[in-house]
Amino acid sequence: MTGGLDWVKPGMCIGVKLNLCSARKPEHAATTHPVMAAELTKLLVERGAEVILGDSPGEPFTPAMLKLVYNTTGVRLCEEAGGKLNDNFSHHTVTFPKGKSVKQFEYCSWLSECDAIISFCKLKSHGLMGMTAAVKNLYGVIPGTMKSEYHFMHRDPADFADLLIDLNEYVKPVLCLCDAVEIMEGNGPTQGTPRHLGLLIAGKSSYEMDRLCAAILNIPEDEIPYITAARRRGFLSAAGTADYALEAAKYGIDDFVRSGATAGWFSPADGDKFVKKLLKKGLYVLMRSKPEPDDSCTACGHCVRGCPAKAIDIVKGKARIDRRKCVRCFCCQEFCPSGAMKVKRSLVARLASK
């Protein structure tokens, strides 16, 4: 792995974009493990680099919120290793004419201070995209609760997938690392179940890394909308699924518990004709998953405040969703502090996946 840092020169400022999606302890497997982040910091500092580590969770991007996240996730260890945790909470508008889904977006300014970015993600199940690893990690370059607004503006999963690809093309991390030692399955990306996998994955391309991750978890590539989008846009290498299958045969698992995400089933693929695209859209409406609170809902109101469509109310001590307003962004599922909000497949989807 250290051979992968030969490009680091003394005096460089390296930004390490961790996954600190929420104030969760390391044992919950929702965030990049602090010990690995600290080890990376040491290696970079030894090479004479200045290291800034950070992320913007889905909560307000403020000093108070980030203090809670830094303390809870254990990433203060990186300070002991010579790194600095980001303390710049400003953001600015960047333009990206090459973007397909966004040509202009809000961007966390600390990343602009860095000469190079390393993306250090966590491998987890995801309610909307099916899986999160390197590509989705860069959604955190959009500041705080603005992420919900972007979800609302890009509610079609294929459009949202293109947004993720645009962010990856803009940031262009020099190196991608994936903490897959303790992964998260089930109700991810914040409230799922930790599972030991024992892998640390490194690569130069976030797209290729996620293809490998999908193979390791035995998830078909075409069921992850952003991999389909990357293929459609010509960002995947010629290395076929077969190459990753060889790695998966050595390190993979075949009983990974997935979230109920179905968006990937209907992502428009390269070469789809108009009628097929239309059919996929129709089937998506019929078979798309929905968020649904279970009996463990505490009526805390967190999802009410975070829903970009204003689709949730608390009724009789429980969250209730107005289905006509809901855009299926799954922000409520991602940030429900008690894990009560689940991804539920439609009856048709359940029958189809039997």
Give me the least distance between CB of 331 and ligand SF4, in Å please.
Answer: 4
CA 280 remoteness from chain centre: 24
153 binds ligand SF4 (CB under 6 A): no
Q: Based on CB atoms, which residue is closest to ligand SF4, 209 or 319? A: 319
Angstrom distance (rounded) from CA 168 to CA 141: 10
331 binds ligand SF4 (CB under 6 A): yes
Angstrom distance (rounded) from CA 166 to CA 172: 10
Residue with tokens 């090479």, as numbered in its chain: 47
Interface with ligand SF4 (CB under 6 A), residue from 23, 259, 330, 345: 330
Angstrom distance (rounded) from CA 28 to CA 24: 6
309 binds ligand SF4 (CB under 6 A): yes
Complete DSSP assignment for 310-348: --EEEETTEEEE-TTT-----HHHHH-TTS-EEEE--HH
Of 91-99, 167-175, 177-185, 328-336: span binding ligand SF4 (CB under 6 A): 328-336
Q: 255 and 197 in contact (C-beta within 8 Å)?
A: no
Total number of residues that touch ligand SF4 (CB under 6 A):
26
Beta strand 175-185 with 130-132: parallel, antiparallel or unpaired?
unpaired
245 binds ligand SF4 (CB under 6 A): no
227 binds ligand SF4 (CB under 6 A): no
User: Residue 336 in 3-state DSSP?
Assistant: coil
Angstrom distance (rounded) from CA 155 to CA 34: 33
Give me the least distance between CB of 157 and ligand SF4, in Å please.
Answer: 12
Give me the least distance between CB of 70 and ligand SF4, in Å please.
Answer: 23
Residue whose C-alpha is closest to residue 78's, from 47, 32, 121, 111: 32
Q: 346 and 289 in contact (C-beta within 8 Å)?
A: yes
Give me the least distance between CB of 206 and ligand SF4, in Å please.
Answer: 25
Q: Based on CB atoms, which residue is closest to ligand SF4, 25 or 325? A: 325
Q: Based on CB atoms, which residue is closest to ligand SF4, 80 or 313? A: 313
Interface with ligand SF4 (CB under 6 A), residue from 328, 343, 345, 349: 328
Interface with ligand SF4 (CB under 6 A), residue from 13, 338, 347, 348: 338
As beta bridge partners, residue 116 has 14
319 binds ligand SF4 (CB under 6 A): yes
User: Residue 184 in 3-state DSSP?
Assistant: strand
**Contact pattern from residue 278 through residue 307 relative to ligand SF4, giving x for each residue in contact according to CB under 6 A and a dash for the rest:** -------------x-x---xxxxxxx---x
343 binds ligand SF4 (CB under 6 A): no
Give me the least distance between CB of 344 and ligand SF4, in Å please.
Answer: 11
First to last CA, the chain: 41
Interface with ligand SF4 (CB under 6 A), residue from 20, 311, 343, 349: 311
- Provide the b/e sequence for 174-199 (b: ≥16 CB within 10 Å): bbbbbbbbbbbbbbbbbbbebbebeb
Interface with ligand SF4 by CB under 6 A: which residues? Answer: 291, 293, 297-303, 307, 309, 311-312, 319, 321, 326-332, 336, 338, 340-341
